[in-house]
Chain A
Amino acid sequence: MPSDHIQGGFRKNTSGKRLSTMIMNDYLDLHRRASEGAFVVWIAIIVPAELFSGFENVVYGVPESHAALCAGKGAGPVLCEKAEGFGYSTDLCSYARIDIGTAFDGGKDSPTFGLPRPDLIISNNNNCSLLVKWFDVYHRAWGVPHLVLDIPFCYENQKDRDFRYIMDQFGTLISTIEEMSGQRFDRDKARESVRLSSEAMKEWKRFLGFAAHRPSGITAFDSFVQMAPILTSRGTQRLVDHYRLLADETEEQVKNGIFPVPDEKYRLLWDNIAPWHQLRKMSGRLAGLGANITSASYTYCIGALEGEYDPYEFDGNDPLAWLARLQNFSVCPHGLNLRRKAMKEVIERNAIDGVVFASNRSCKVYSLMQMDQMRYIREELGIPCVMIDVDHADVRKYSEEAAFTRLEALLEMIDA
């Protein structure tokens, strides 16, 4: 089967090429529709974007996703420095610094020319309540209303009381957009969008499932890159089509004996946000050592309930209820026990040999449980672990050699 798949990941086969086109078109479409008068919303990643499909002409941009894209394209440092020049501390999240640097300099140096100016900003506080502080910066600078969804943190599975509280807030969100945009919300359209999201997540999990094959059919780096359209095309048929193509293509490759790390000796799991500035370098160098980071908590949580792996399927009824129940589909809002539960399941499913805990200065919510999580994985599950220092988007805070000294030590521990 023809494939441009280089060792260590990055499938530049049909789905890889389609991904680039899709992301480019999503951003172009966002700018175009905004310029033609669409109601523009900026959202945090967990905000239920499917709801916007219930309106005639509402488009959304995701500052975190935009910042990750900038970091992946090498624009992180220059944009961070701009924000620092505006007085924002180097200790602040690098996503925030990149995005503030972009927004306050007219989109210069951003591969997408930034995002179109919003009419409404919506954040939530379960993934990270600093998002609220970050989005407040724009709210104040531009006088744009900022709506916060207050989603309680999950030390255990979502409680009914929390579910009802979230549902009430979705009602406020919908009425706010109706009032501001003059458009009516159509629940059936939102239901269709939710159905498509649910379909897409099934295909996404089918794709991730090839990490269980030995050697693995994928790398976690593939999943990092391929998660982008979840944030730009959520709730659309093109997202379903894309993930179906991705999973089909991966299945075909596995059948034909094509693997990202053919001489795979070590199967690793990554815990934290992707190191966007290191994807190619890190995957390639690890592949040279016979190591494949096959799975990542950052991507396996998507589409699942807290502490789970399998997708949470839509039952076809109330789209708001599905979205409210799935308001914890990233790792950050999960307590330690839920994180342990999901990671244990993935370690067992995918026969993981070692876990890389990426201690990320830019994401305390993800990182500040890792030392105890690592102790549990090492002592209770008997899996070797290592912690490396990373900043997900600011390469100036990352040392490749220091990281690889530890990664190589992990491989030695696995061999021992």
Chain B
Amino acid sequence: MTPSASVLLLTTLTGFGYGLLAWLGVFGAARGLPQQPWFGPLAIGFALAFASAGLLASTLHLGRPERAWRAFSQWRSSWLSREGVAAVLTYLPALAFAAFWWFDGPGAGTTLVAGLAAGAMGMITVACTAMIYASLKPVRHWNNAHTLPDYLLFALYSGALLLMLALALGGGDLKGAALLAAVLGLLGLVAKLAYWRHVDHAAPLATLGSAIGIRGATARPLDKPHFTQNYILREMGFQVARKHATRLRKIVIVCAFLAPTLLALAAAFGLWPAAMAFVAVILAACGLLAERWLFFAQAVHVAALYYGHEV
């Protein structure tokens, strides 16, 4: 599948934003955040800025963005519609969280409830995003048991890194958040390796014989319907050279998971925590963008069978 920048930004940035929102809710409830009145609203704004940037980027993917409001209507059947509804609904508890923190105080019951609700709604939005891909039957690289937990895990991991940075900048104690980020980073690495192992070994969805209705025969393309590109090949026939993919996977392992984990550990033990947190977030953002690029670029659509691609 062709990796378009808008969708890469959507899935990565909302992961950072909603992940941070989730941890702000949990750490707020556990009294693990600085108790100054400005910290809550600023950190929540930081989280919403990431998520909103992602959501805005996703509208660039639309052919007719001026009609985007229509996408809220089919939540009964469409995960894309559910994602839109959940994303908008998340703003309500998130803004309430910020308001209660400011007016009622960080320790108030209302703040606690709004924080947990905002975190939960954010993760529900991430889950809807994941399900858009996980529910697509023609793409076996997405339609499997890894996609949903991986999206949630990567969101929680990137959110924990952002929380570490927010605590470093806000003068809070970041040891808990840094250790959490390190643990989630290692879990994320294991999940990604397991995903690659799965997609590299799973059986193809269909054969060309089955795709053209001739059972028990092997088929190979003789003449294509057209000699140049078309929409199907451009959108669904994207191919990435194996040597580039192998190199990118190494970059993902180091940049998205191992390096930020080590930096988080360094920050946890008091080694230039703010600088470590900042570099960890930048590296993880680049690494996770590469991870998401591969998630799209290496996903093969079964319709590419008709053009002789291996699925």
Q: Do A and B bind each other?
A: no
